[in-house]
Chains A and B, each alone.
Chain A
Amino acid sequence: MRDLIRLYGAMLQASLGVQVQYRVALVIWLLGLVIQPVVYLVVWSAVAGQGAVGGYTRGDFAAYYLTMMVVNHLTFTWIMWEYDYLIRQGQLSAMLLKPANPVHRLAADNIAYKLLTSVVVLPMAVLLGLYFRPTLSLTLERVALFLAAIAGAWVLRWLLEYTLALAAFWTTRVTALNELYYGLFWFMAGQVAPNALLPPGVQLAAELLPFRYTVGFPVELVLGRLQGAQIAQGFAVQLIWLAIAFASYHLLWRAGLRRYSAVGG
């Protein structure tokens, strides 16, 4: 375990060193990340008008989407787009030759990015808050649970999307698969609409599928949208999906290695 910590320490340093140099690219990424929730916020605010929709007033939507923006930023990954590239450029081979699972270097890249960009995203959320006036009432207890939920959300999303990325071992047409994933994700994770506003059937699906537990669940939790039992239930489902995701990753990784043809390099 200590070895793993030292490993991540070294890799984080290197990843930070690399990403610090791509300032312009970082800014462009961030703009994209910010625009989406702001658009939804504006649309839903218009729908709510001076009243409320499904228990959400304008202020509630502002709180929801600004928090969503931060949480999504903290948990998102790009690994499924990158993996095919890594294989073809030979970088995966280079990583496989070393006595360290490539997943660690790639996770370190992800974490390093979040560390760097949080410096900009968090102030940005605050600034947007000054304009959109979110209705916020936080408690220490909820914030503590929120942090736990985010940690689980990050790991879950990472495992899910990394496992999806492993499809690159079997096909070069990964884009189609990724688009399918994102199509579902958008709806179910809480980005198109807060969970409570989804039609009943879809809401049930969203509560059973893993997507909500990577973004929507922590957001609803910290904003006080969930009762005690719902919070416990949420954590339970998150844990179950964590176990499933880990098992899937493990199986696919082994199967993928057997199949790997190292053609890129």
Chain B
Amino acid sequence: MSTHTGSSHTAAIAVEELSKYYEVSERSGGLLAAVGSFFRRRTRLVRAVDAISFTIAPGEVVGFLGPNGAGKTTTLKMLAGLLYPTAGQARVLGYVPWRREKEFLRRITLVMGQRQQLYWDLPAIDTLLVNRVIYKIPETQFRQTLDELIELLDLAPLLGKQVRQLSLGERMRCELAAALIHRPQVLFLDEPTIGLDVTMQERIRSFVREYNRRTGATVLLTSHYMADVTALCSRVIVIHHGKLLYDGALGALAARLAPFKIVSVALEDGAAAGVDWTEYGELVTGLDGNGSKVHLRVPREQAAEVTARLLSRLRVHDLSVEDPPIEAVIDRVFRGEVPD
């Protein structure tokens, strides 16, 4: 009996109070503790995903942001039917994912960085041919999709080579092809560009964009490369310690979570000696720039006043006022420095 709720469903992905808790056994170091743990196991509850809720409409490309261990991958695995949740509900294309109905699995795909989908000892095309049978893809559709994928991912020279002879970037492209040959309506992409060089990252991003444009597929993408998210997603969901911190437009994220401006000041030679920067704002480390430039984090409402003070008191050679880069915003959110 299918659990499909039928065509009245408008959301592609609907998640409600979804949770996944793990019991992890715990013990301190040392021999005494090791022996003790033989008799009595102490466990700790890890809330990998803690009552998150969100809805994604068909065709949306949503970014799932969070540091390692935040719960993004666990959420994706639940939505793809790999994991049973501890509590809560979810529906993807109207199906309950962990029921693992064949009709559901035929419509989705989950691409993980270290995915082992391809037959290692065979040419990539062989995996695609097996997938054709597994997913029951009609011959003409298969040919058509294959041609499109070859074009978009530049696969022509790769498909006949044994997978184990491919480079990481080449293998990733073939994995993507194998993951998409059945034209899924929902794509779960878990760190799709991890470990790839910059050119390849850009290529994968434009491919995802194009696939979404051509097929109207819904994409839920996790990454800790901001470039992935800024390139593809207008909407982001931020998750940390298993909890949903933010769900909304990417641009608004910076405005809401980081009401700061970055004031960058370059002084004339020799003018920097003895300057106490803390009078003006918080010195920022980690932004790019050579040593002669100083970056200050200044609250938005004070930006004008601080700028005026800097210009009047110091011999300023160059000054700019900008929004903080989105990475810095996210970073501070994860380190708990910004209240939500």
B-contacting residues of A (Cβ < 8 Å)?
3, 6-7, 9-11, 13-14, 17-18, 21, 89-91, 93-94, 96-100, 257-262, 265
Contacts and interface: CB of A to CB of B under 8 A. Distances in A.
A97 B80 contact: yes
Interface residues of B, number: 33
A18 B136 CA distance: 23
- Most chain A C-beta atoms within 10 Å of own C-beta, residue among B102, B112, B130, B136: B130
B22 A97 contact: no
A11 B130 contact: yes
Given A17-B126, A99-B102, A258-B84, A10 B115 contact: no
Contact of A17 (B77, B114, B121): B121
B134 A93 contact: no
A94 B116 CA distance: 6
Given A21-B121, A97-B110, A99-B135, A262 B77 contact: yes
B84 to A, nearest CB: 5
B215 interface: no
Given A6-B133, A261-B83, A262-B82, A98 B105 contact: yes
Given A10-B130, A14-B130, A97-B80, A91 B105 contact: no
B252 interface: no
A90 B110 contact: no
A91 B134 CA distance: 16
Contacts of B207: none
A208 to B, nearest CB: 36
The 6 closest A-B pairs by CB, nearest first: A99-B105, A10-B133, A99-B102, A94-B117, A18-B121, A91-B116
A257 B110 CA distance: 18
Contact of B82 (A10, A259, A260): A260
A99 B106 contact: yes
B119 interface: yes
Given A14-B119, A91-B116, A99-B134, 13 more contacts: A6-B133, A14-B129, A14-B130, A17-B119, A90-B115, A93-B82, A94-B115, A97-B109, A98-B131, A98-B135, A258-B84, A261-B83, A262-B77
Nearest to B73: A262
Nearest to A104: B134
Contacts, number: 76
Interface of B: 22, 77, 80-84, 100, 102-103, 105-106, 109-110, 112, 114-117, 119-122, 126-127, 129-136
B121 A97 contact: no
A166 B228 CA distance: 38
Given A14-B122, A99-B102, A7 B115 contact: no
A96 B82 contact: yes
Contacts of B130: 10-11, 13-14
Contacts of A99: 102-103, 105-106, 134-135
Contacts of B119: 14, 17-18
28 contacts: A7-B134, A9-B133, A10-B129, A10-B132, A11-B133, A13-B130, A14-B129, A14-B130, A17-B122, A17-B126, A18-B122, A21-B121, A89-B116, A90-B114, A90-B116, A94-B115, A96-B81, A96-B82, A97-B105, A98-B131, A98-B134, A99-B105, A100-B134, A258-B84, A260-B82, A260-B84, A265-B112, A265-B115
Contacts of A18: 119-122
A90 B116 CA distance: 7
Nearest to B131: A98
B82 to A, nearest CB: 5
Contacts of A100: 134
A10 B114 CA distance: 25
A43 B97 CA distance: 57
A201 B212 CA distance: 68
